[in-house]
Amino acid sequence: LVLRVDLEEQYLERLRREFPEADVTVVTAPEELRGALGEADAIIGGSPLSPEELAAAKRLRWVQVTSAGVEAWLTPELREHQLVLTNFSGIAAPNIADHVLALLLAFARGLKPLLERQARHEWGEDEAAPSTFEPAGQTLGIVGLGDIGEALAEKAHGLGMRVIAVQRHPHEPPPGVERILPSEGLAELLEESDHVVLSLPLTDATEHILGADELRRMRRSAYLFNIGRGGLIDQEALIAALREGRIAGAGLDVTEPEPLPPDSALWDLPNVIITGHTAASTPRHWERGIELLVDNVRRFLAGEELRNTVDTKAGY
């Protein structure tokens, strides 16, 4: 097992203690990786493998990505390889759900203009209070009801919100979700929601899933939140909708491209909050991640099916 992440000693020791039969090799430098690839049966973490590195890993059967998104890994060479690719989907779901609600509540209480007022050392009169709303009783529409979507639904339901969702393969609604629509029901969700959250992977099928036509279906009072990938939205269409007041605002943790160029109009729009791809940040990442990793190492060594397997053809 070639470990390409700088694990805390307690987690590294746990791997070695639980799997004494496995040779766990930690590599941190590119030259170390080149030397380890030929003997690697599994690779854990690190940046995507180049075609040359993949070709050198003759024994490689499993790659464990330590994030949820895998689009950068899906090169033509890897898609054709026989290895199993797994991800950390679900590990950051609790904190990403918190992040969405933080953005939503920031709009609800007018925090952006209040913080700008604070930066100017300006108290403001009572009549200058920003516009506010209360989430309770409003409808939250989640596009992509995976681990993040389910965690968000449960927390939003706790705030008294009505939750609906769109999912490619609808199933019995989980706790907090009133109704799940198929992919063809996206327009219905957009028309019905006070808040729309994109929590999808970026694939050929989901690129620009929200364009000008879809944005026109949203309510003028609605807010859009994206914690998936920037490419899910036609960004120029979004800028136009925000400028023209066709939607109330947007909370964007992801943009296209990243980093967002300094001259992007999004930075200066008064109805936009940008958080620079920080939603997944949490001090508890490896506290949860080690449990998944240990389980997958056990399964790998036993020849069992791995958890969080990625369909490399579909992209998620």
Residues labelled as active-site residues? 229, 258, 277
Q: 115: exposed, middle or buried (C-beta count within 10 Å: 0-12, 13-18, 19+)? A: exposed
From residue 169, alpha-carbon distances to 101, 146, 182 in Å are 25, 11, 7
Pairing of strands 84-86, 2-3: unpaired
> In angstroms, rounded to a whole number, what is the distance separating the alpha carbons of residues 58 and 45?
18
> In angstroms, rounded to a whole number, what is the distance separating the alpha carbons of residues 197 and 122?
33
Under a CB-based contact definition with an 8 Å cutoff, are residues 91 and 289 in contact?
yes
Neighbours of 259 (CB within 10 A): 9
